[in-house]
Structure 1
Amino acid sequence: MSEEIIKSESTTEHLHVLGATITITADSDDTDGEFSVKNMLAPPGFENGLHTHEPAEVFHVIDGEMLLYVDGETQYLKPGMTGYVSAGERHGMRVEGDEVLRVLIVMSPAGAEDFFRAVGEPAADRNLPEPREVTNADLEAIFATGEEHGFEFFGPLPADE
């Protein structure tokens, strides 16, 4: 493993992706491909839709609240709570409540950060982008890029029951 995993604010990558900000704090190069770490800020109501990917994924909520939907089961995560998604499992998340969500995301093995680099717009810092409407063209581009990186998308999360 590389000698310096911890990145400073000047060496982390901030990306705007569909209204959220993803900061890559450790990538494949830092961890010899074993895992990646992302620090995500997402506004109230943000949803990433139902999808799958090969890496397993851990979500640890720092601020705000989120719904984590995993293969038919719904979990509500609050600060200090952690959720887990097995490799290849159908899942998605949505920000609940009125607060901005800050969640640490660990994916193992690493590599999915390249998908976020491909679809995200580089940002100067960890602030949320100005809100804007997500278009069908935005989604089509993300779906196509996702296929190239081992992501498969299935549409929005199921309605709450």
Structure 2
Amino acid sequence: MLGATMTITADGEDTNGEFSVKDMLAPPGFENGLHTHRPAEIFHVIDGEMLLHVDGETQYLTPGMTGHVSANVPHGMRVEGDEVLRVLIVMTPAGAEDFFRAVGEPSASRELPELRDVTDADLEALFAIGEEHGFEFLGPLPTDA
């Protein structure tokens, strides 16, 4: 998905709709921009470092640290440093995994895809699919994040 690899380890079917769990690998510099969605979200860093920008506040998370985003709150993340980020993401209630399935491309391995430039067409498709799944995209992270 736009340069990252996400494995859905538990979805709404597994949890009676209560939550979903995703295991994400993202390359240095990966950023998902400011956005909102209905589920609350927890990020637990396994490897690497990330910046988590939540409603105007910035947190710097390293291995073993956890960040939280309440439902419908503007937030975004960026991979910091020069290591691949591995982060577990829990969203509650479940359902957002359908968005990730819709925008992602199935992969036969847990490796990062080859780096490529994200095009305007990629972003337009992501925004349209996101809107169908209750995501609202608000633009890039603030420059001070």
TM-score, length basis structure 1: 0.89
The reply on whether 1:124 has 2:128 as its aligned counterpart is no
Residues 9-57 of structure 1 deviation map (CA, whole Å, 9 limit, x = unaligned):
xxxxxxxx00000000000000000000000000000000100000000
Query: Aligned partners of 2:13 and 2:110: how far apart in 1?
Result: 21
Query: 2:69 is matched with which residue: 76, 85, 98?
Result: 85
Give the % identical residues. Answer: 82
Q: Write out aligned runs for 1:47-66 (5 A).
A: 47-66=31-50
In structure 1, give the amino acid aligned to 2:44.
H
Which blocks of at least 5 consecutive residues in structure 1 are unaligned? 1-16
Query: Aligned partners of 1:154 and 1:112: how far apart in 2?
Result: 18
Runs of 4+ in 1 over 6 A off after TM superposition: none
1:13 counterpart residue number: none
Query: Aligned partners of 1:56 and 1:32: how far apart in 2?
Result: 16
Which blocks of at least 5 consecutive residues in structure 2 are unaligned? none
In structure 2, give the amino acid aligned to 1:38.
K
Residues 72-114 of structure 1 deviation map (CA, whole Å, 9 limit, x = unaligned):
0000000000000000000000000000000000000000000
How many pairs does the alignment contain? Answer: 145
In structure 1, give the amino acid aligned to 2:25.
L
Q: CA RMSD in A?
A: 0.6
In structure 1, give the amino acid aligned to 2:99.
F
Bigger CA radius of gyration:
1
Query: Aligned partners of 1:131 and 1:117: how far apart in 2?
Result: 20
In structure 2, give the amino acid aligned to 1:54.
R
